[in-house]
């Protein structure tokens, strides 16, 4: 059978670039479309591929956690973006946090240097006829392409609203008040990874008062929309749920001691460094959609940020995703047209690593289709397989974006659950062990030796 290539990949974000890399690893050609800089989005700031918009964190690296398992599976499959993240890593406690600029530069350079990938800087408004295509346009899909997707799938658009956190200039933080520490002294390398702004109780109460009175940007949210993704709520929405909600959420002081008093603060705001040069900090968990002037006024009430210079204010934007369970197979193929695959946040996964994961799988499956093969679903025991199981098998009448959690993975058998019922950590360790065994067997069964080799660290050659 003749090869059906090149494979057309629409979207140069996390999912699209990973998909293109996986296609190339299998010795096949692809065309990768990215509409920036000709067409801008409400959230992106550069024309680089794989630009991180909301945060610089790829979540926990703590062994035997669900986010760690997903990343470990991706590493074992030769993920380009996980390798780039390691090269661009900055301190972030137990999280894999990266220098955004360096991360995007690493990915952009690797894609540009790969002869099997043709990068086209243009907007796609319709799918190429008769070609294999991966739609990886992310949550900020252009209106024209969203309409084409709605026509193709026969379903309406779904969307929720997402916010991004502010960034402050490092030199404008008062370090006579803010102190370096990681909760409970836990960090990646024994150093203190976060700069902490401590509140006493009166300061916290005044801050919440002003936050509740803050003037928000109108989001024009339809009455029948799902307004926010629960894992990324704006701070003012959290404050409306109760005065203590922030103190038990992004502002929790547990495991921290203010060196000025020797006591635990009433609340804290943690600042995480944005780049290797420590020139700027992200306000962790402080996504919001207040007007910029209000943000400056209210956030300067945070102890240590009284003279903060903001490099970026928090913003709100609409995220678009399809009703994947009604449309996709476990191999991310469109049921009505199997030569079209979806990957990334438009498929309804939430999170950077989840987007990378679906991009990797879509690239592998598209390569199988291109060579006349039948794509093999990932084992259900794996984090990758469980993501696809959710995307293709969740209740389509109440489909919501999802991060990887142990709830998505299959339960242990009854005997093992009883043996480990008092030890949650041991149960999670066993779920991870089982997943990696299944992944190893799957990798051997589908192993492909063509395409670019890995470097001597086990990662892609950058």
CATH code of the domain containing 229 = 2.40.30.260
pLDDT number for residue 453: 38
pLDDT number for residue 18: 98
Distances (CA, A) of 87 to 55, 110, 360, 406: 17, 13, 19, 28
Q: Which of 345, 178, 356 is nearest to 269 (CA)?
A: 178
Buried b (16+ CB within 10 A) or exposed e, 75-88: eebbbbbbbbbbbb
Domain count, the chain: 2
Q: Are residues 150 and 233 in the same domain?
A: no
pLDDT number for residue 325: 93
Q: DSSP E strands: which ranges in 71-206?
A: 89-90, 95-98, 117-120, 133-135, 158-164, 167-169, 179-181, 194-199
Write out the two tokens for 366.
């598209």
Q: Are residues 73 and 196 in the same domain?
A: no
Contact 19, 363 (CB under 8 A): yes
Q: Which of 328, 342, 338 is nearest to 368 (CA)?
A: 338
Tell me, yes or no, whether 460 lies in a domain.
no
- Rounded CA-CA distance 11/28 in Å is 18
Give the position of tokens 């979806």: 342
What's the rounded mean pLDDT across residues 360-364?
A: 98
Distances (CA, A) of 353 to 18, 66, 190, 276, 406: 11, 11, 25, 21, 15
Q: Which of 15, 4, 1 is nearest to 338 (CA)?
A: 4
- Rounded CA-CA distance 453/291 in Å is 49
Give the position of tokens 């043709």: 118
- Rounded CA-CA distance 146/156 in Å is 9
Write out the two tokens for 205.
């109460």
Tell me, yes or no, whether 131 lies in a domain.
yes
Tell me, yes or no, whether 184 lies in a domain.
yes
Strands 133-135 and 194-199: unpaired
Q: Are residues 204 and 283 in the same domain?
A: yes
Query: Is 448 a residue whose pLDDT tops 60?
Result: no
Tell me, yes or no, whether 99 lies in a domain.
yes
CATH number, position 13: 3.50.50.60
Contact 195, 175 (CB under 8 A): yes
Question: pLDDT (tens digit, 9 = 90+) per residue, 313-334?
Answer: 887 766 778 889 999 999 999 9
Mean pLDDT of the chain: 86
Q: Are residues 169 and 291 in the same domain?
A: yes
Q: Are residues 386 and 411 in the same domain?
A: yes
Query: Is 462 a residue whose pLDDT tops 50?
Result: no
Tell me, yes or no, whether 222 lies in a domain.
yes
Q: Are residues 182 and 147 in the same domain?
A: no
Contact 315, 289 (CB under 8 A): yes
Question: pLDDT (tens digit, 9 = 90+) per residue, 252-300?
Answer: 999 999 999 999 999 999 999 877 667 889 999 898 889 999 999 999 9
Q: Which of 97, 273, 313, 89 is nearest to 178 (CA)?
A: 273
What's the rounded mean pLDDT across residues 208-222?
A: 77
- Rounded CA-CA distance 352/345 in Å is 9
Q: Are residues 188 and 272 in the same domain?
A: yes
Q: Which of 24, 1, 12, 11 is nearest to 366 (CA)?
A: 24
Query: Is 106 a residue whose pLDDT tops 50?
Result: yes
Lowest mean pLDDT among 52-66, 160-174, 180-194, 353-367: 180-194
Q: Are residues 173 and 141 in the same domain?
A: no
Tell me, yes or no, whether 455 lies in a domain.
no
Q: Are residues 175 and 33 in the same domain?
A: no
Strands 337-342 and 133-135: parallel
Q: Are residues 108 and 221 in the same domain?
A: no
Question: pLDDT (tens digit, 9 = 90+) per residue, 368-406?
Answer: 999 999 999 999 999 999 999 999 999 887 787 788 989
- Rounded CA-CA distance 358/345 in Å is 9
Write out the two tokens for 167.
């960034």
Contact 134, 10 (CB under 8 A): yes
pLDDT number for residue 461: 45
Q: Which of 292, 318, 344 is the last residue of a domain?
A: 318
In which band, very low, low, confident or very high, does the pLDDT at 2 lie, cut at 50, 70 and 90?
low
Domain that holds residue 52: 7-157+322-446
Query: Is 68 a residue whose pLDDT tops 60?
Result: yes
Contact 196, 268 (CB under 8 A): yes
pLDDT number for residue 420: 80
Tell me, yes or no, whether 235 lies in a domain.
yes
Helices (runs of H) and strands (runs of E) counted in the chain:
12, 17
Q: Which of 255, 285, 318 is the last residue of a domain?
A: 318
Q: Which of 258, 288, 318 is the last residue of a domain?
A: 318
- Rounded CA-CA distance 215/236 in Å is 10
pLDDT number for residue 162: 67
pLDDT number for residue 218: 61
Tell me, yes or no, whether 144 lies in a domain.
yes
Q: Are residues 167 and 314 in the same domain?
A: yes
Q: Are residues 204 and 337 in the same domain?
A: no
In which band, very low, low, confident or very high, does the pLDDT at 450 lie, cut at 50, 70 and 90?
very low
């Amino acid at each position: 059978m003749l090869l059906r290539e090149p494979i057309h990949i629409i979207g140069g974000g996390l999912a699209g670039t990973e998909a293109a890399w996986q296609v190339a690893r299998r010795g096949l050609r692809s065309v990768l479309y990215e509409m920036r800089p000709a067409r801008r989005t409400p959230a992106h700031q550069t024309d680089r591929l794989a630009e991180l918009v909301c945060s610089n964190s790829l979540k926990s690296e703590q062994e035997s956690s669900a986010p760690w398992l997903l990343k470990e599976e991706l590493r074992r499959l030769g993920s380009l973006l996980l390798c780039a993240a390691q090269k661009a890593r900055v301190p972030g406690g137990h999280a894999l946090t990266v220098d955004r600029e360096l991360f995007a530069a690493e990915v952009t350079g690797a894609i540009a240097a790969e002869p099997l990938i043709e990068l086209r800087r243009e907007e796609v408004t319709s799918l190429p006829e008769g070609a294999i295509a991966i739609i990886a346009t992310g949550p900020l899909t252009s209106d024209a392409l969203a309409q084409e997707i709605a026509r193709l799938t026969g379903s309406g658009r779904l969307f929720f609203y997402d916010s991004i956190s502010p960034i402050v200039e490092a030199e404008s933080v008062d370090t006579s008040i803010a102190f370096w520490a990681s909760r409970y002294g836990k960090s990646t390398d024994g150093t203190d990874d976060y700069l902490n702004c401590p509140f006493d109780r009166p300061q916290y109460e005044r801050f919440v008062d002003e936050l509740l009175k803050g003037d928000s940007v109108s989001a024009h949210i339809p009455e029948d929309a799902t307004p926010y993704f629960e894992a990324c709520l704006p701070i003012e929405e959290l404050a409306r749920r109760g005065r203590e909600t922030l103190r038990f959420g992004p502002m929790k002081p547990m495991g921290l001691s203010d060196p000025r008093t020797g006591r635990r603060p009433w609340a804290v705001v943690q600042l995480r460094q944005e780049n290797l040069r420590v020139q700027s900090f992200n306000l962790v968990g402080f996504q919001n959609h207040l007007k910029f002037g209000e943000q400056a006024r209210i956030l300067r009430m945070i102890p240590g940020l009284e003279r903060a210079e903001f490099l970026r204010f928090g913003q709100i934007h609409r995220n678009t995703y399809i009703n994947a369970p009604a449309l996709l197979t476990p191999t991310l193929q469109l049921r009505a047209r199997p030569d079209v695959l979806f990957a990334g946040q438009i498929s309804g996964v939430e999170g950077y690593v989840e987007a990378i994961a679906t991009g990797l799988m879509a690239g592998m499956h598209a390569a199988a289709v291109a060579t006349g093969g039948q794509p093999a679903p990932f084992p259900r025991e794996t984090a990758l397989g469980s993501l696809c199981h959710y995307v293709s098998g969740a209740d389509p009448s109440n489909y919501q974006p999802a991060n990887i959690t142990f709830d998505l993975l299959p339960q242990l058998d009854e005997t093992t659950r009883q043996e480990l019922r008092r030890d949650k950590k041991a149960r999670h360790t066993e779920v991870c062990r089982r997943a990696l065994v299944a992944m190893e067997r799957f990798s051997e069964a589908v192993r492909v030796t063509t395409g670019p080799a890995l470097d001597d660290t086990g990662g892609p050659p950058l």
